[in-house]
Structure 1
Amino acid sequence: MNKVVFVEAFFKPIGKAETIKVPTGETKKGFFGGEKEVFRKEEQWVQTGWSDREIDGQRLAKDVAAAVDKLNEQGFEVMSLTDVTSGNYSWKYETKGGPGANGGWGYGYGYGYSYTEGIIVVAKKI
């Protein structure tokens, strides 16, 4: 008896370092005699989105290891691991000018790329 499991790959998170104010737990007297909280500045990485071109290889490795461990616990032996590749593309073509207007001209471009969508794990019952 065989079992096939698909392990999805996820794109890398992208972000930037932001300076935030973190409370210290201390207070100090204000100019008019009131108390106010004391803060310190700290840099913290903040996720702003997901990459459109790079997969998170470390996460994929952990997810594959978890899938293999689960199959082994269920009495399966992994026979093969196969990557699934997908792709994306874009193109544009535009003309300027036209017939009778001293000729016409245009431009165009196109590109394509592939990425790993996931891993197929094939296992056999021991």
Structure 2
Amino acid sequence: MNKVVFVPAFFVPVGKEKTVKIPTGEKTTGFFFGGEKDVVRREKQWVQTGFSDCTVDGERLSDDLSIAVEKLNQDGFEVVSVTPVTCGNYDWNFHRGGVNESSYGYGYGYGYSYTSSLIITAKKLT
């Protein structure tokens, strides 16, 4: 008896450094009106803004593969093969220029592939 397991790949998170205000728990008294104000310190933190559109999170994919193989082994299966599934993406653009946009033009295009998932094939041990 054979079993096939699908392990999806995920893209790596992308983000940027952002300065945030963190309260210290201390209070200070205002000079003019005497009101209390929280004391804060500024700290740079990485903030996720989304996910990459082309870079797969290899570390997570490796961990997910390890978990799937371990579960198959616990269920009495032996892994026969691990096959990557490759997908692709592309983009292009064309620009006209010159007088009345008729003198010249140029274009470009690119494409790339990435591992979108893994397929594990296993057979039952007897």
TM range, smaller chain: 0.7 to 0.9
After TM superposition, the score normalised by the length of structure 1 is 0.85
Task: Write the distance in 2 (CA, Å) between the matches of 1:17 and 1:30.
Answer: 31
**Cα distance between partner residues in 2 of 1:94 and 1:37:** 54
Pairing 1:39–2:40 present: yes
- Which structure 1 residue ranges, 5 or more long, are not aligned? 98-102
Any residues of structure 2 matched to 1:27-106 within 5 Å, and which?
27-31=27-31, 32-93=33-94, 105-106=104-105
Q: Tell me, what secondary structure is at the counterpart of 1:70?
A: helix
What are the equivalent positions in structure 2 for 1:11-30 lying under 5 Å apart?
Answer: 11-30=11-30
Segments of 5+ residues of structure 2 without an aligned counterpart are none
Q: Deviations over 1:55-104 (max 9, x none)?
A: 1111111111111111122111111111111111233456679xxxxx96
Distance in 1 separating the partners of 2:51 and 2:24 = 32
Mapped to 2, the partners of 1:82 and 1:125 lie a distance apart of 18
Report SS of the residue matched to 2:34: coil
Q: Number of matched residues?
A: 122
In the other structure, the counterpart of 1:115 is 114
Cα distance, 1:45–1:76 mapped onto 2, change above 3 Å:
same
TM-score in terms of structure 2 length: 0.85
